Structure 1
Amino acid sequence: MTNVRRQTTLNSATVCAGIELHGGNHTRLAMRPAPVGTGLVFVRTDITDRDNRILVEPDAVSDVKNCTTLENAAGVEVSTIEHLLAALAASGIDNLIMELDGRELPALDGSAEPFLKLIERVGLKRQEAPRRYVEVLRPVEVRKGKAFARIVPATRLELSVSIDFEDEAIGQQKVEIVPDVRAFRDRLASARTFARLHEVAALQAAGLSKGGSLENAIIVDGDKILNPEGLRFADEFVRHKALDLLGDLYLGGPILGRVETHASGHGLNHDLLMALYGTQGAWRFVSMNGEELLPEIDSPSRLQSVSA
């Protein structure tokens, strides 16, 4: 998430395909360049009888259980978007059309690295319009039991993420990172999603994780890692939590602030965004020139209706 002055899209289209983590179906994702001011937009190409466009914005979130799901007014959904959004955030992409022929993005290897490689393969295109940042002006915090998420003012996006699991293979872990594209590539992108073995059966009984396997997730059983290849990092679990946080935050666009979380997940990450945007005087839109940007002339996002 390097602070850049101008909006950005892809140089050209790029495509990937694979199995959905939860639905188990085969899906295809095509990412296409988009004009200034488009924002990030999913298009469900398999839906033809109603509005199939879903804007990436905080108030489009319809579900945060096990993954982040967006839904438009016509009831069309897209889910498990957080890994792709993390790659878009780190790369600094503002405008993009993402065509998907199913409800859920392909899981690929369970990390954001395949998405980042697709982006880097085609490259970025700078556009002739100022990039809009959300500058945090005062602290905002949300809590749920021992878990919390807070955001405080800073001149760049900074993440401090900690977790505490009873499972011996996970335990207590913490990571701090300024997630520019280099740090993201080296430290977060390849960190995979994970689940405890006892959770897998419950997820499958609930009709989820139909496409989950050791090929796209880390499976933990107490003090054991069931994946034959082991971990990519000793603290891969907290790195993936930071990856998820980065993706969830990007629902509201690029943020200038320090975000600290403990034992957080998609739900609390989203609660923090909604608390930030719902708190008068806690934020404003700015460019990298320090110029305040008026929301009504900058973006089609429904965040325009929230008074800063």
Structure 2
Amino acid sequence: MTTSPKPVATPLAPPRRVRIEQKLNLRGGPAVGFARIGRLEPGDTLMVDRVIDGEAYLGRRAWYGVEGREHYFWSGAAQFEDAATPVPAAPAGAVAPDVRRRGNGTILPLSQAELAGTFGAFQSTPGAQRGSIVITPAAWVTQHIAPFSHPVLAALGHPAVSLHRLAHPHFQAVFDRIDALGLGSLIQTFDGGWVPRHKNWDPGNPDLSSHSWGVAIDLNARWNGAGHPPASPGQQGDLTPLVPLFAAQGFAWGGHFSSNVDGMHFELARRNP
């Protein structure tokens, strides 16, 4: 039997139902060298309670753990049945992010006052583009905004993107996890980081977008447009497998917004970054 260091697992809370799309082996560990326990057939469904950084197979390292059992299967031929992605529980020994949650456990974004109090207050004047703003004083930008780099984003043609300095470690942790699990291919486009502007580019809206603080990014915008349902699980542009990974670092997902759903959008919602 394969022997290796204990794999890193991201718990899912609550567990999620997965549908099998092609024949898979159910194994005693997250690698093809572990003993086969059973066989999964297309159309089978089962509950999983963790995502494991296991052996890479066809370029993908993510394996799912069956709820309450030491049974595992590769994620590449399975899809979550539900479109809503729950927040994962904090790993043993980890400190859960200080966030506000809805009744269903999903993470709420920070309010305007919380954004200013956590990431720095600033003044603004209207920008040249409708709905954009110019942050004043300019020293705020120098102090708080800095280039962020990661191979996952570089592969998309973005070797550096501007984000808030306090957000860098959390984006780093998320993209490291995405890369380790071989899920980077799910991100097809990077569509925005620090962009000082009003919400929805509406100058009549007194609220500013969280992009103004450099704590939000947009991904796969073509398939997850603001005001439209996010890409369904398994469809092109689907980001739902990444939502638990972002949530584990304290990011709210726009696909959970109750109004003006925004499936491309992830924003840091920690009150203690």
Q: Same fold (TM over 0.5)?
A: no
Higher-Rg member (1/2): 2
Give TM-score scaled by structure 2 length: 0.31
Higher relative contact order (CA 8 A, sep 6+): 1
Give TM-score scaled by structure 1 length: 0.28
